Chain A
Amino acid sequence: MPEATRVRWVLAAATSVALVASGCGSSGGGGSSSSDASKTFSYQSSEPQNPLQPANANEAGGGRIIQNLFKGLVDYNPTDATLRMQVADSIDTSDAQTFNVTLKSGWTFHDGTPVKSSNFVNAWNWAATVTNNQINSSWFSDIQGYKDVHPESGAPTATTMSGLTVTDDTHFTIKLTTKVSYFEYKLGYIAFSPLPDSFYNDPAGFGQNPVGNGPYQFVSWAHNSQVVTKSYPNYQGVDKPKNGGVVFKMYTTAEAAYADLQSNNLDVMDQVPPSALATYKNDLGDRAIDSPQGAIQNIGFPLYQPDWAGPEKAKVRQGLSMAIDRATITKTVLQGSRAPASAWVAEGVEGYKQGNCGDFCNFDPAKAKQLIQEGGGVPGNKLTITYNADGGHKEWVDAVCNSIRQNTGVDCVGDPKVDFKTARAAITGHTVTGAFRTGWVQDYPLNANFLADVYRTGAASNDFGYSSPEFDKLATQADQADSIQASATGYQQAEAVLQQDMPAIPLWYYRTNSGYSTNVQNVVFDSFGNPAWTQVEVKG
């Protein structure tokens, strides 16, 4: 207690000094002090799991470094998740199937070579080719000719996709196999980054020493310790760096990072450790961050199991959903690090429609009991929830089970699997018999990503074996819409279909609970849970 008081005193003093300073003619607004654009700041990170190649980074450690070293055709505005043009000057389409891309001139890679159409097309062809072993290779599956470079089995029959044609240095076209009205949104993903011509001489070496075209250029990678970047003076993007670079410091535990943050040895952190959730706002004062993230936690059901296959069981799932007291659990057990869900799409995403889950995400024990009874009850009157024990899920799974047990009389127990990969193996291998924990983190901030990739028949992440002709029809219609807005509205209609089938129960949305040191200011987090890197100001 005395400790916390002391910290707050220091903070109050620091703020008032800053206020006085700004009163004396500084141009900065309330409480901000002057910044030095040449100074770097440090960010809590983890050692990348793969070499630093854009199409090979799908986890946070490598992904956020790639994101800063490379810039694709488009990216997402960190404040409102809308799409904005970066290397692309325009992306035009008349039928949502053929896209004409025009590049801005003046963009260069960090080695000085210009960014041309071929840098995009060659990079995508290379990354899609199955023999080049890129984790994100399936991202290119919409493009015509993908099957030739990436057959389901056997060796590829081509090295280029027929859907990509270079017109000249600043123009190229993308032809898709079917209409995908929101394809531009996908283009913001790091896998679609351009690669310099020097890449192909030594892709493995490039992975240790990448050359990009983004706001920051690579300086050094001391493995397991830090990756150092510096701002690229010739960066042409709309988000010019206001700092001198980012130093990604590797931490194995969030506790260690938090201790460093409090003593100003780390400037911005990723996520405060669970042990600090209750106190971090007190510890950090106005340097604490609590903002929405484009990620959702669900409980899924194995609709392929006879126990859950019957159409009447949808009522049981609806009932179970209504028996979960989301508001209390997020506030107490999860300490405010999540927000109750009222739809299958996360808050803050383009096309998010609050309450699209209908009444079924509202807490109503009486209605819950009634629905479960109407649906013939939970098989064996006992529900199991399978989850991975290494992800800090035990507490909330137990709380959800308590909620279900108390409010419906259905017995409910957690079924922990030793770690993430074991739980995934059980879920994708279709050996789960009860409910299971599942979740979705946005690839791009659009509702289609939360719906088409998860609930469409045969979708890669449809772990439920869910198949609804109505949902599929609406989703396909939405894909063929002529604008992103129309597509988003179409997907909202598809989302509403999930109400009646309830393949998964939406629980809550993730939030970014983070903070920053006294060395930096203007730290804003986007819906990916990343800070707006280039906007961070380091105090002079």
Chain B
Amino acid sequence: MGSYVLRRVLQMIPVFFGSTLLIFLMVYSLPGDPIVALFGDKAADPAQVAALRQKYYLDQPIWKQYLHYMGNLFQGDFGTSFTGRPVSEIMADAFPVTIRLALMAFVFELVVGLTLGVLSGLRRGSVVDTVVLVLTLVVISIPVFVLAYIAQTVFATNLGWVTPTVQDSTDLSQLILPAIVLGSLSLAFVARLTRTSIGENLRADYIRTATAKGLPRRTIITRHLLRNSLIPVVTFLGTDLGALMGGAIVTEGIFNVQGIGNVLYRAINQKEGPTVVGIVTVLVIVYLVASLLVDLLYAVLDPRIRYA
């Protein structure tokens, strides 16, 4: 187990280098000149452009820029944005907001999604099952921004329960609505995955054995059925945590949440290399760690899976 984790962590190193290099190249190959764009509609003064290029190290060939960036990174310096703020500070502001939002969405989809999935899976064909199926179908087929605008209009403009946008991104209670919207799509997937998985396992031999042994129904469901049925769901949830963090751009925009999505969107628009590379690198690491956790969880859920 220990050596397995160590191996996986070591594997992350080349992935880390590869992904930073790729992102660096991608930002570099974005069309347009970020320095000239700083001047907006007005003509850029050539002497000033040259001086600014030198300041941001953009007058060097791409490989030198990359080495320079990586060199600084290992000294804990993520570079500076055009606003003159260190990228590490920008990330320290924005990541906690997005992590909170993503975790709230995650908990919401986990709790509600699993409950709905188990209920409908156990009572296939019942009214509950049909209702869950129809509701999840509706959620899956509606794009997230439509859901967000509906939620905003209904709960803020019409009912007045909340403000239309988040006034303070560090206030958890204000993040509830965006989190529900953000988590709703995955919730539908979780519910449907759980339902199918439970339905299949209900007919498995070990459930019949357990029932024949005379185990109480509650024990059968929680100990045997649920544990075995969760493997595909856990796989989905693991990758979804990363997707929630990176994919919150639309939701963050509509509710004006000052998280990583908004920062990343602006940085890409401005072709602000250090900010984009820094944020995406952290997102890649989140993804890698989440998938490692998923793999470890498999072993917990199914004793037949062992890591040597």
Contacts and interface: CB of A to CB of B under 8 A. Distances in A.
Contacts of B51: 130-131, 133
B163 A223 contact: no
A253 B258 CA distance: 12
Interface string B33-58: 11011111111011110111001000
B269 A225 contact: no
Contacts of B167: 265
A248 interface: no
Given A51-B83, A153-B50, A421-B33, A439 B164 contact: no
Given A252-B256, A253-B254, A259-B156, A461 B82 contact: no
B249 to A, nearest CB: 9
Given A153-B50, A265-B164, A419-B269, A425 B93 contact: no
Given A259-B152, A265-B163, A50 B31 contact: no
A255 B41 contact: no
Contact of A419 (B31, B39, B40, B258): B31
Interface string A236-254: 0000000000000011110
A222 B84 CA distance: 14
Instruction: Please tell me the size bucket of the interface on B.
Output: 35 or more
A169 interface: no
Interface in A450-466: 459-461
B136 interface: no
Contacts of B34: 421
A488 to B, nearest CB: 22
A299 to B, nearest CB: 15
Contacts of B157: 259, 262-263
A255 B89 CA distance: 28
A51 B84 contact: yes
Interface in A135-166: 135, 137-138, 150-153
B247 interface: no
A263 B153 CA distance: 11
Contacts of A274: none
A303 B300 CA distance: 72
A252 B85 contact: no
A59 interface: yes
B155 to A, nearest CB: 11
A151 B266 CA distance: 33
Contacts of A521: none
Interface in B152-211: 152, 156-157, 160, 163-165, 167-169
Given A49-B83, A133-B48, A252 B33 contact: no
A251 B165 CA distance: 10
B95 interface: no
Interface in B232-256: 252-256
B261 to A, nearest CB: 9
Nearest to B89: A223
25 contacts: A47-B83, A49-B83, A58-B40, A58-B42, A133-B48, A133-B55, A135-B48, A150-B48, A152-B47, A208-B85, A223-B83, A224-B94, A252-B253, A253-B253, A259-B156, A262-B164, A265-B164, A420-B32, A421-B36, A422-B32, A424-B37, A425-B36, A441-B41, A460-B43, A460-B45
Given A207-B84, A259-B165, 8 more contacts: A50-B38, A131-B51, A133-B52, A223-B93, A225-B169, A256-B255, A390-B269, A459-B43
Interface of B: 31-34, 36-43, 45-48, 50-52, 55, 82-85, 89-90, 93-94, 152, 156-157, 160, 163-165, 167-169, 252-256, 258, 262-263, 265-266, 269-271
